[in-house]
Amino acid sequence: MSSLSDLFKKHGKASNADIEWLHLLLSDWQLVADLVFADLVLWIPTSEGSFVAAGHARPSSAATIFFRDIAGEPIRKEWSGTVTKAFTSGLSQHLGAPDTYDGLLTRFSAIPIRRRVSSKSEEVTEKPIAVVTRHTNLAEAKAPNKLQLNYLSCGNYLLDMMADGAYPDFANQTGPRRGAPRANDGLLRLDVDGVVEFASPNGLSAFNRLGIKGELEGQTLAAASAPVLKTKMNVDESLPLVLSGRAPWRTDMESANITLTVRSIPLRQGGQRTGAIVLCRDVTELRRQERELITKDATIREIHHRVKNNLQTVASLLRIQARRSGSDEVKESLNQAMRRVAAIALVHDTLSEGLNQDVNFDEVFDRVLMLASEVASSMNTSVRTLIDGRFGQLKSDMATPLAVALTEIVTNAVEHGLADRSGVVAVNAERKQKQLLITVSDNGKGLTDGKVGAGLGTQIIRTLIEGELRGTIH
């Protein structure tokens, strides 16, 4: 399915502001579909004077009439006249007779969409920028109960606000935090003074679990919530504005080991606030899981930090032992072991600084090259290192063996390829889809007889590259 921007680019012309507004609408219109018990389809105008479907929301509260996604499809002839009239007149249009789609009887209407000019102004565009059609499955029609009547009233209000450019709101974004409340989780309707006119059964139960006993209807929600929040030392300063329906924000309420996330959607008509919809959801378990994840992340970082410290201690002991050794062969073996341990410590040091288990290997490799510089200085030679390309992000289980392998390769290039001479070691990293191609070269004397050696370092490199990284060496 093409994105909204792609569809505008392909079929019509629109400003970036129009596209951004429609993106904002699509991110929040599932609520409206659930409240009106109907499918919603967004139609954008094309350069040929027709319309193409740019988005579709199925209701979770009723049966859909669209069993296949229609995004990207041109408008049907039966709907074209009504949608065109809504777009040109700027007024909502209703098809008089029932519509038929795939053998299902439906009620069809078209709502023009305007947008606010800016977040700092109530001014809206003079002409609509798109049209939303509403498709109600008449096979589901029955005498509505109190809950359904209030849902329909709230949903119709939001559709009218769409036509007026008052919904969605620039500040009415649910944010990235998990647990955004939905209509079926709990809904309250407030009047202009913040008094509860209607509370859904789930909404009432959620506030009861929070410690607010009795009925909510007829009470000011902010005042009814105040007693249970007195025991909390830290209360979000935006909470009173959310509970009174004055600000289109979302926040959490905590009391008696229960966490309730609350979202307010102010209702407006003619530029004036007339009430609000308040959505709520019990997110106690979600927040507990989030706290556990934070604790686990901190524990994992601490483990990496301690492992790094221990490895650095081992490397220091190997360095001390190498200095005290009277045998050049033993000294060289200990120095090699020290560099391998230090390379592993570098990866753990990087992991201890971040929240995820991915490693920016470019940072790690910069520090690996410092180990090669130590080798060069110990040999009284001057070696210049060049890096071309980027390694990018690697999983921790790949970063450790790769760091050790590259440490071996680069130090071997310095020790053997550039022995007793100055030179350059060049490293090229290239990403090709899911593969990482790394080339290490130097301008030294090359391999003896053109053959790769069979020493411990070479064995380690082959084991790490071919075994743990499932790579190849050429």
Domain boundaries, the chain: 4-145+160-164, 183-282, 294-468
Please indicate whether residue 280 or residue 313 has the higher confidence score (pLDDT): 280
Q: For residue 169, is pLDDT > 70?
A: yes
Q: Which residues contact 272 (CB under 8 A, 6 or more apart)?
A: none
CATH 3.40.50.300 fits 4-145+160-164, yes or no: no
Backbone angles phi, psi at 415, to 5 degrees: -70, -40
- CA-to-CA separations, 174 to 8, 20, 192, 316, in angstroms, rounded: 25, 16, 22, 51
Check residue 207 and give its pLDDT: 93
CA atoms within 13 A on the CB side of 310: 7
Q: Is 345 helix (H, G, I), strand (E, B) or coil?
A: helix
Q: Is 145 helix (H, G, I), strand (E, B) or coil?
A: coil
Query: What is the pLDDT confidence band of residue 409, given thresholds at 50, 70 and 90?
Result: confident
Backbone angles phi, psi at 122, to 5 degrees: -90, -5
Check residue 236 and give its pLDDT: 74
Check residue 172 and give its pLDDT: 63
Q: For residue 445, is pLDDT > 90?
A: no
Check residue 233 and give its pLDDT: 53
Judge whether 183-282 and 294-468 match in fold: no
Q: For residue 347, is pLDDT > 80?
A: no
Q: For residue 279, is pLDDT > 80?
A: yes
For residue 37 the two structure tokens come to 């018990």
Check residue 357 and give its pLDDT: 65
Cross-sheet strand order for the sheet of 196-199 = 196-199, 187-191, 272-282, 258-269, 250-255
Q: What is the mean pLDDT of the chain?
A: 84
User: What mean pLDDT do residues 109-130 have?
Assistant: 90
Please indicate whether residue 420 or residue 467 has the higher confidence score (pLDDT): 467
CATH 3.30.565.10 fits 294-468, yes or no: yes
CA-to-CA distance for 310 and 149, rounded, in angstroms?
Answer: 66
Q: Which residues contact 390 (CB under 8 A, 6 or more apart)?
A: 362, 429, 431
Check residue 72 and give its pLDDT: 86
Q: For residue 173, is pLDDT > 60?
A: no
pLDDT above 90 as % of the chain: 36
CA nearest 55: which of 80, 29, 76?
29
State the architecture of 183-282 in CATH terms.
Answer: 2-Layer Sandwich (3.30)
User: What mean pLDDT do residues 4-25 have?
Assistant: 81
Please indicate whether residue 411 or residue 88 has the higher confidence score (pLDDT): 88
Of the candidate ranges 78-92, 210-224, 418-432, the one whose mean pLDDT is the lowest:
418-432
Of the candidate ranges 77-91, 122-136, 270-284, 390-404, the one whose mean pLDDT is the lowest:
390-404
Count of beta carbons in the 10 Å neighbourhood of residue 266: 24
Q: For residue 151, is pLDDT > 60?
A: yes
